[in-house]
Amino acid sequence: MRTTSAKSAPSPGLDAVKDRLRAEAAVEPDPVPTAPPAKKTEIIAIYGKGGIGKSFTLANLSYMMAQQGKRVLLIGCDPKSDTTSLLFGGRSCPTIIETSSSKKLAGEQVEIGDVCFKRDGVFAMELGGPEVGRGCGGRGIIHGFELLEKLGFHDWGFDFVLLDFLGDVVCGGFGLPIARDMCQKVIVVGSNDLQSLYVANNVCSAVDYFRSLGGNVGVAGLVVNKDDGTGEAQAFAEAVGIPVLSAIPADNDIRRKSANYEIIGKPGSPWAPLFEELGRQVAEAPPVRPQPLSHENLLDLFKGDSVGRDVVLEPASLEDMCGGKVLERPSLEVVYDNV
């Protein structure tokens, strides 16, 4: 008679954990809390195209603001979880979502020290997100903020909370700060290229839309990263009615130090004045309602040969689609004689 070995028998404890996780997964998330914090904390959401330099800008900005005596919390809201890498010299810190999952499996509670880390006065954490193909990044953001609330987010005593969001992901979770008035203002990071300004314009459109519905979030301004002096980003800011808070030059020293995970926004460094001024601008710039551009007006900021303005849209024919002659086929429509 064939018997089942003890090794292959399912563990009752594991089954209970699986059942509990399934039950939790079936519950819809709670609404994201929008109650005012216990302390007058300014929450600022920073948006920009992936790879434009938000993490570089935020790591140096948060470091400088901390050196200026501000209590600063930096929260990475990018599934890549790379916002804090530069701040911690290339090391990645455990994400809130991953830590929460592992703690649940072990039957333990998440503590602040499990997910929040500090360096020279800057506090930082990563929300994290699902692996590729295994979930919705926006849903992960919502879940991450729910966990922050359970950890006491609205009772923390920070002067500034900086949220790092991808601007070229348009699902609801990434738009939470704008849609639900979770922040007081938005800052956009862009450069002198069409794609990053396209994303910046989309963010301005989102702010304008929710302002029309009664929202209060505004855009404080644009940070131009890798500025090569061509002026398209400055022209964009003027066109949509927002200020340029800082222009970080396309400099080899900055590129090299950033690639080596070095903070350049330190007091006394050659780049200190730039980030000291940016820190002041971020703290003081008022939120305004932008005037987003149409796609055609956005293209007008660039030279025609840079964005293909001389290209004509030529309609395709059925012959093109079939690669040659089109065979005439009788209609399958049934036609009834008049009676």
What pLDDT score does 38 carry? 44
What pLDDT score does 327 carry? 74
Rounded to 5 degrees, φ, ψ at 105 are -60, -35
What pLDDT score does 210 carry? 93
Of 203, 206, 212, nearest to 179 by C-alpha is: 206
Tokens of 11: 């563990």
Whether residue 118 is predicted with pLDDT greater than 90 in this model: the reply is yes
Average pLDDT over residues 130-135: 64
Q: How confident is the model at residue 8 (pLDDT cuts 50, 70, 90)?
A: low
CB contact set of 306 (below 8 Å; sequence gap of 6+): 194
pLDDT higher at 193 or 318? 193
Alpha-helical runs (H) found in the chain = 12-25, 54-67, 96-105, 112-115, 137-150, 176-179, 194-212, 232-240, 252-259, 272-284, 295-299, 304-307, 318-322
Residue with tokens 């109650």: 35
- Cβ–Cβ under 8 Å, residues 60 and 277: no
Rounded to 5 degrees, φ, ψ at 278 are -65, -40
pLDDT > 90: what percent of the chain? 49
What is the 3-state secondary structure of 1-63?
A: CCCCCCCCCCCHHHHHHHHHHHHHHCCCCCCCCCCCCCCCCEEEEEEECCCCCHHHHHHHHHH
What pLDDT score does 306 carry? 59
Rounded to 5 degrees, φ, ψ at 56 are -60, -50
Q: How confident is the model at residue 231 (pLDDT cuts 50, 70, 90)?
A: very high
pLDDT higher at 97 or 294? 294
- Average pLDDT, whole number, for the chain? 84
CA 187 distance to own-chain centroid: 11
| Residue 105 to residue 280: CA distance in whole angstroms | 44
DSSP letter assigned to residue 338: P
| Residue 192 to residue 53: CA distance in whole angstroms | 13
Cβ atoms < 10 Å from Cβ of 299: 16
- Which tens digits make up the pLDDT trace of 136-146? 666 667 777 78
What pLDDT score does 160 carry? 96
pLDDT higher at 220 or 310? 220
Determine the 3-state secondary structure of 202 from DSSP: helix
pLDDT higher at 40 or 212? 212
Cβ atoms < 10 Å from Cβ of 284: 9
Residues tagged active-site: 49, 54, 80, 168
DSSP state string for 154-175: GG---SEEEEEEESS--SGGGG
* Domains of the chain by residue range: 38-302
What pLDDT score does 6 carry? 47
Whether residue 28 is predicted with pLDDT greater than 70 in this model: the reply is no
CATH architecture of the domain with residue range 38-302: 3-Layer(aba) Sandwich (3.40)
| Residue 319 to residue 308: CA distance in whole angstroms | 27
**Pairing relationship of beta strands 117-119 and 42-48 according to DSSP bridges:** unpaired
- Which tens digits make up the pLDDT trace of 35-87? 554 448 899 999 999 889 999 999 999 999 999 999 999 998 877 778 899 99
What pLDDT score does 309 carry? 62
